[in-house]
Structure 1
Amino acid sequence: MRGTNQSSVSEFLLLGLSRQPQQQQLLFLLFLIMYLVTVLGNLLIILAIGTDSHLHTPMYFFLSNLSFVDVCFSSTTVPKVLANHILGSQTISFSGCLTQMYFLFMFVDMDNFLLAVMAYDRFVAICHPLHYTTKMTHKLCVLMVAGSWITANLNVLLHTLLMARLSFCADNIIPHFFCDITPLLKLSCSDTHLNELMILTEGAVIMVTPFVCILISYIHITSAVLRVSSTRGRWKAFSTCSSHLAVVGLFYGTIIAVYFNPSSAHSSEKDTAATVLYTVVTPMLNPFIYSLRNRDLKGALCKVVHRRTFSV
């Protein structure tokens, strides 16, 4: 089989989160609730931003894109988990596995890029407030988001094509609830050195560069905030970044826990728990973090809910 482009494995078996029937029932209900909250919360944010003219600013433009990505991000894994439970099947086709991997990591990249873009937006707003409207033009915002989509797709396409050339000869059991790249590489009977090299080089650059940009932005933001004379002024400047900082910490904290720990510290239970955090819990919490810490968005959400309630 070595050197061929055809895989002898036509489908994979996803072990899921638990083999215990009682735990499976509880996890199904938990995943269903979290998914519905994720979709409803993020769609409400998109609707509130779209209908309130006061929120047609760069910061909320990026936030609406982040909410859209979070809905798609969660939708790449959770519906499959729920469907597998209902149908009593844990299989996923080879092509379906690659498709799921493609979209999952594309939306991971988009979250990564959008958080960096939002950090730059906060940097300009706090460090160069007089030039904010001239620097953060609508054209620039659209170009940054479009560039993020293009880069994310090209990056994931590369890794998906490299994965598609591998052969899978015998074992097809994935000890996970979705098609992750690491367990797939372990199952391959082909030479995976090129795949691993691209993950450690190009893939690492794609993930680390936005994170470094966020760190640099917040170093400048912190320096600018500390130069503010009044305590109230410092708190007001910092409060505009607190929601973004919370999301950044949650997103990168769980990513680091899964992918940037030594192999000796890994266990299937810990990896699964951390993966659930960044694929399911983080997209669900983002709307709450932004809405609870933002008066304008909270007011817009109240208007949307009030309008929908009385129109029924």
Structure 2
Amino acid sequence: MELLNPDLEKNTTFVHPAYFIISGFIDIPDMKYYYVFLFFVYIVSVLGNTAVMGIICLDHTLRTPKYIAVFNLAFADLVGSSALVPKVFDIFQFDHPYIVYNDCFTFMFFCYACLSMEPLNLVALAYDRLIAIIFPLHYQVKVTHRFMFSLIASFWLFASSVVVIAVVPLTTLSYCKSVVINSYFCDYALVHRLACNENMIRTSL
């Protein structure tokens, strides 16, 4: 499905479509069986991550700096999968390939922010183990609850800032040629390619 605007070069206003169309995997035969598997994996992920967070909250012996990072890892995975899978399931299983313009970028932000947090969270866990191995006698002093909370918060701030800096400029571009995203979600690169080159040049000047 194409949206064409031949007068774009004469028009300096932004062209923002009402929606995008997610077209990835639509032509693959027997996709409904894959969605059953996807739904099963998502339910297991939700139950598993929720159980991990619940156990850490309820068990006082697990309220250590290391388990703060484990809790955050489960939280990031839960939010990321919840931002991605339900919409994918709705698009392809119930034949609702349309996603509202603003929702697309919100969707993009949460997916990429949570995806970025997972390796950063593993860095926090790796640092925790490194200090425990190299400085076992000073571990309690070097790795405190306050330190781990600050580290996790700084990682969230960093990941969110990077994603915002990357996503916000996309909202200033015009989408005059097509609204079809050939992917299973609002992929940054594919949405960027849909923008009109002429307007991209104007916005960068």
Report the alpha carbon displacement of residue 73 of structure 1 after superposing the two structures with TM: 0.7
- C-alpha distance 91-123 of structure 1, shift in aligned 2 (>3 A): same
Number of aligned pairs? 194
- C-alpha distance 80-4 of structure 1, shift in aligned 2 (>3 A): farther
Q: Which amino acid aligns with 1:14?
A: I
Matched, 1:25 2:47: no
Paired position in structure 2 for 1:168: 175
Paired position in structure 1 for 2:18: 10
Q: Which of the residues 48, 57, 64 maps onto 1:57?
A: 64
Larger helix percent: 1
| Aligned mates of 1:140, 1:4 — CA distance in 2 | 49
Paired position in structure 2 for 1:143: 150
- C-alpha distance 112-7 of structure 1, shift in aligned 2 (>3 A): farther
Deviations 1:156-207, CA, capped at 9 Å, x for gaps: 11112111111110211111110111111111113658x9xxxxxxxxxxxx
Moved over 3 A (4+): 1-5, 190-193
Query: Is this contact kept in 1: 2:35–2:93, CA < 8 A?
Result: no
Gaps of 5+ in 2: 1-7
Deviations 1:126-185, CA, capped at 9 Å, x for gaps: 111111000001111111111112222221111121111111102111111101111111
Q: Which of the residues 60, 68, 72 maps onto 2:79?
A: 72
Q: Which has the higher contact order (CA 8 A, sep 6+)?
A: 2
Paired position in structure 2 for 1:98: 105
| Aligned mates of 2:13, 2:147 — CA distance in 1 | 42
| Aligned mates of 1:112, 1:157 — CA distance in 2 | 18
| Aligned mates of 2:72, 2:12 — CA distance in 1 | 41
Paired position in structure 1 for 2:134: 127
Query: Is this contact kept in 2: 1:9–1:170, CA < 8 A?
Result: no
Query: Is this contact kept in 2: 1:5–1:166, CA < 8 A?
Result: no
Deviations 1:73-110, CA, capped at 9 Å, x for gaps: 11111100111234322111111111111111111221
Paired position in structure 1 for 2:159: 152
Identity %: 31
Query: Is this contact kept in 2: 1:5–1:165, CA < 8 A?
Result: no
3-state SS of paired residue (2:183): coil
3-state SS of paired residue (1:76): helix
Describe how 1:1-312 pairs up with structure 2 within 5 A.
Answer: 1=8, 4=12, 6-22=14-30, 24-190=31-197
Calculate the TM-score normalised by the size of structure 1. Answer: 0.58
Q: Which amino acid aligns with 1:11?
A: Y
Calculate the TM-score normalised by the size of structure 2. Answer: 0.87
Q: Which amino acid aligns with 2:43?
A: L
Report the alpha carbon displacement of residue 8 of structure 1 after superposing the two structures with TM: 4.0
Q: Which amino acid aligns with 1:159?
A: A
